[in-house]
């Protein structure tokens, strides 16, 4: 099967961008199918570091077509800024295609995101304030503006003005905010539409034709399983489906077209934003992981909460995504700990919980059941084969395979392309 899904197995920021870039050298098409510029995917090539938000992480490979699919919420302002940034670094952006069915993010979405978070007070979700939730709300409520209408001079202005009027009522009367300037926004977004138009096409046809011709398609997940609207730690989730099933709708592929599902998994656990986190280390060990792993958000710069690897989560991800293998990332960050811990179950009162619970009330009261393994002191960053890893690091990887029942096919020991150990064919 020539279609590979890359899915985040935890709370996002697992290193998806690095793996996409690595696998894209063999891919013909890379597709983003959900989320928007709330994503921050870091790719390091040589000494150059790229932070990608809306643009697929295949962009640094010359021969790859990069698709922003229909399931994405598309922010034209962010898109243009990102294109300009890439061009300034000498990266060609000619291969990008934007779905005519994707929904557009406008300033009122960002403003409502910000105001809604403020209004939640102590219950705030901790969103990226990129307008993602409000934009998906419009899509579901059937008042959103799609890319096909955004770039259509005959219809855009009138539907946009109606939406600005409706959203200003919400901003002013519900949140007590300042109304947005309709005329200025219309003028600005008409200019953006001209810029975006040449990229727009029916991307589901592009993907279908590629598959028909036997080409390799890589589906790039943003966020992660625990941020999924259904499977995540609701309400501390994003507003899309970052799980494997979400890709069929978000990119226009039939479920029978999906071959490998790679679960991108950090060798430990992190999350940004609020919500319960069973293995969180709110202590000097967590601080040490944060510094060693440079765990600060690519999109918002926020420090990420850090904790030991939680295999209750990884097993749950494996089940709901149909994960066929794991890419174990940032293993090098665990170097230097005398022992490393793996959470293999939860204790809830007197009961041991096997499956990741839906209720945050329950999750918030769960205690991790740890297994402690000996650590290693050797630097892993130059290891290129599994055999060259220290014995204790190999044992850690093998224990993860045993606890999750999923083979670890990729091991990442540094941010660079070359710092990647591959143990089995992905395509």
Which region among 40-48, 107-115, 242-250, 310-318 touches ligand GDP (by CB under 6 A)? Answer: 40-48
Closest CA to 291 of 335, 226, 340, 342: 335
Interatomic CA distance for residues 235 and 227, integer angstroms: 9
Residue from 10, 15, 37, 40 binding ligand IMO (CB under 6 A): 40
Task: Give the ranges where 256-406 is alpha helix by DSSP (H).
Answer: 284-292, 311-321, 360-365, 391-404
Q: Which does 329 bind (CB under 5 to 8 A by kind): Mg ion, ligand IMO, ligand GDP, none?
A: ligand GDP
For residue 256, the tally of other CB atoms under 10 A from its CB is 9
Residue from 7, 8, 13, 53 binding Mg ion (CB under 5 A): 13
Which region among 34-42, 171-179, 201-209, 235-243 touches ligand GDP (by CB under 6 A)? Answer: 34-42
Does 226 interact with ligand IMO (rule: CB under 6 A)?
A: no
Residue from 10, 57, 128, 233 binding ligand IMO (CB under 6 A): 128
Both structure tokens of 36: 């928007």
Q: Which does 126 bind (CB under 5 to 8 A by kind): ligand IMO, Mg ion, ligand GDP, none?
A: ligand IMO
Q: Which does 111 bind (CB under 5 to 8 A by kind): Mg ion, ligand GDP, ligand IMO, none?
A: none
Question: Could you tell me whether strands 41-45 and 48-52 are parallel, antiparallel, or unpaired per DSSP bridges?
Answer: antiparallel
Q: Which does 313 bind (CB under 5 to 8 A by kind): Mg ion, ligand IMO, ligand GDP, none?
A: none
Q: How far is the CB of 54 from ligand IMO (least distance, A)?
A: 11
Largest CA distance in the chain: 66
Per-residue interface string for the shown chain with ligand GDP, residues 330-349, x marking contact by CB under 6 A:
x-xx----------------
The Cα-based distances of 346 to 316, 317, 364, 397, 398 in angstroms read 13, 16, 11, 21, 21
Beta bridge partners of 103: 73, 146
CB 273 within 8 Å of CB 236 = yes
HSE-CB at 365 with a 13 A cutoff on CA atoms is 10
Closest CA to 240 of 309, 140, 107, 114: 140
Interatomic CA distance for residues 111 and 304, integer angstroms: 24
13 is catalytic: yes
Residue from 298, 381, 388, 392 binding Mg ion (CB under 5 A): 298
| Site residues (vs Mg ion, CB under 5 A) | 13, 40, 298
| Site residues (vs ligand IMO, CB under 6 A) | 8, 11-13, 38-41, 125-128, 130, 132-133, 222-224, 227, 236, 238-239, 272-273, 298
The residues annotated as belonging to the active site are: 13, 41
């Amino acid at each position: 099967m020539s279609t590979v899904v890359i899915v985040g197995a935890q709370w996002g920021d697992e290193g998806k961008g690095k793996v996409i870039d690595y696998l894209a050298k063999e891919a013909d098409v890379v597709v983003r199918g959900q989320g928007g510029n709330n994503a921050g995917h870091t790719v390091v090539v040589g000494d150059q570091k790229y932070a990608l938000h809306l643009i697929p992480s295949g962009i640094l490979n010359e021969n790859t077509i990069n698709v922003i699919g229909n399931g994405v919420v598309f922010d034209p302002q962010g898109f243009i800024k990102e294109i300009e940034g890439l061009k300034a670094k000498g990266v060609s952006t000619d291969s990008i295609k934007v779905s005519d069915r994707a929904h557009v993010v406008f300033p009122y979405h960002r403003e409502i995101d910000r105001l809604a978070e403020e209004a939640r007070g102590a219950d705030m979700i901790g969103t990226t304030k990129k307008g993602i939730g409000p934009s998906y709300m419009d899509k579901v409520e059937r008042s959103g503006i799609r890319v096909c209408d955004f770039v259509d001079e005959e219809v855009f202005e009138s539907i946009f003005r109606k939406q600005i009027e409706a959203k200003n009522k919400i901003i002013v009367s519900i949140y007590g905010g300042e109304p947005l300037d309709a005329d200025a926004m219309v003028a600005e977004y008409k200019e953006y539409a001209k810029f975006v138009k040449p990229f727009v096409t029916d991307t589901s046809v592009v993907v279908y034709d590629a598959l028909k011709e036997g080409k390799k398609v890589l589906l790039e997940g943003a966020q992660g399983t625990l941020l999924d609207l259904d499977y995540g730690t609701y309400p501390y989730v994003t507003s899309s489906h970052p799980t494997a099933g979400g890709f069929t709708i978000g990119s226009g592929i039939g479920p029978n077209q999906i071959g490998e599902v790679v679960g991108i998994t950090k060798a430990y656990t992190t999350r940004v934003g609020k919500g319960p986190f069973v293995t969180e280390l709110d202590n000097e060990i967590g601080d040490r992981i944060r510094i060693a792993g440079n765990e600060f958000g690519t999109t918002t710069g926020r420090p990420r909460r850090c904790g030991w690897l939680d295999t209750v989560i990884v097993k749950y991800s494996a089940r709901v995504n149909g994960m066929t293998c794991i890419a174990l990332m940032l293993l090098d960050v665990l170097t230097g700990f005398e022992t490393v811990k793996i959470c293999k179950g939860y204790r809830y009162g007197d009961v041991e919980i096997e499956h990741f619970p839906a209720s945050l009330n329950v999750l918030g009261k769960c205690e991790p059941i740890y297994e402690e393994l000996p650590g290693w002191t050797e630097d892993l960053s130059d290891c290129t084969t599994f055999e060259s890893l220290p014995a204790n690091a190999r044992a850690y990887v093998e224990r993860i395979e045993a606890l999750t029942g999923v083979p670890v096919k990729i091991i990442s020991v540094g941010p660079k392309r070359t710092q990647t150990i591959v143990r089995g064919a992905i395509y």
